[in-house]
Structure 1
Amino acid sequence: MLRLLTLFFSSLLCATAQATCEQIRVNGEHNWFDVSYRVNAQAPLQGLAVDLANRVFAEVGIDVEYQAMVPWKRQFLQLETGDLDVVIAAFYNQQRGSKFVFSEAVGVEYSTAFIHKEQSAAFSGLESLQGKRGIQMLGSSFGDQFDSYAKQNLTISTMDDLDRAIKLIALKRADYLLYATHGGRLKIADTEYADVLVDMQPSISEQNIYMVMSKSSPCLEHLDEINRAIRRNRDDF
């Protein structure tokens, strides 16, 4: 009997320890230039969202454990299974909203279509994307309204290599690249195609950026504290 009680309380202590948020497992998009990105597959995650996350979790008193690079879509699968606690920057859509917990907004992002300068006259708004060859990053979402429109009306291929996507537009092997406006401008300015590519106006979407948490994360108990820390720090985003 004593042995059974000992095993019971040991198991209880073990479960309690596992359910305590002492360290938070974090990851993010590796191609979202200046928000959340890596310079190569082995490099650490960096960007505005990383800087904000570090400040937020430090204020809450949680150690951050950044995970190795995995594809964007797999990160959301890991959130579902509880193998990841937080994706530090993502847009909201209904599918994600039904599966995960969203923090308060950490910032706002505009997205647009990047096009070849010589073809700019053919682009004047959302409807002008119809009948043309588009590219977007694997797992990208630009909000429910645009995603629904794109699914019904646009021809878009997905790609996991931003540099290659930019090159394809510059070489006119594709017609437009859907990407974050500010980050896209910065990224393209640092390539040999800076004088070749421009962004279409107006933007295709304006979306809030959020931290996205797993519903099974023990760190959810700190969500109110996390949101307060976000409010104190998001002006620097």
Structure 2
Amino acid sequence: MTLTPSSPGTSEAPSIEALRDLRAATCNPVGAPTVTSDLSENVILTSLDDLHNWARLSSLWPLLYGTACCFIEFAALIGSRFDFDRFGLVPRSSPRQADLLITAGTVTMKMAPALVRLYEQMPEPKYVIAMGACTITGGMFSADSTTAVRGVDKLIPVDLYIPGCPPRPEAIFDAVIKLRKKVGNEALAERGNLQPTHRYLTIEHAMKPVEPIVTGSYLRAETQKAAFAAGAGLPLATPEPEALEATPSSSDA
């Protein structure tokens, strides 16, 4: 567009649109930017809780506490087939750098103080996932063992339980997704007001010597006798209840 000086009375002055186009062509060859009127595509309205929760659920750093066979599932979980890292999960070796504790395997009385110590060293907010039957209820060791803990929820608070012996990696992913939803719905004030419960060696959970409850009487059941006979291929001589009662125990000695 070309503009020539106008003489008085010969032509009209250039319009506002012409001057605007001339300025845009000389000062900004690319052209004047246009601002869309749809603010929903350019402005995101959120709260501090949502922003904080979005950052936390996208970067959960787990501390893997494995004591038995369920822990072997993490070998497949971290591999390229399941891609453990796509959820932002970065396994840590120090509890002070982790906010998620995943327990897998049997927890004994000797390992219980170590588990609670690791949990107490984790910064708030922190979460716990109990993985496998032995971690949740004691599993197959809950019947005979006198040292197996019947569930880690007697020691530390648990947010999610993953049943199975062992659980598949897909079940662990499902638990992580549910935990991410829980983190996304939390508020800072609510998480700070939660009272710590289920601590080891507190007044409610003080360890006291008690009489043994595992007596082995279930071995004298007819179903167990039949299982023993079928497994050995010949009849087994099981002790009678009177013989067991007459045998002196180690506590009497």
What's the TM-score once normalised by structure 2's chain length? 0.26
Which one has a bigger Cα radius of gyration? 2
User: Which structure exhibits the higher relative contact order, with contacts defined as CA atoms closer than 8 Å and separated by 6 or more residues?
Assistant: 1
TM-score, normalised via structure 1 length: 0.28
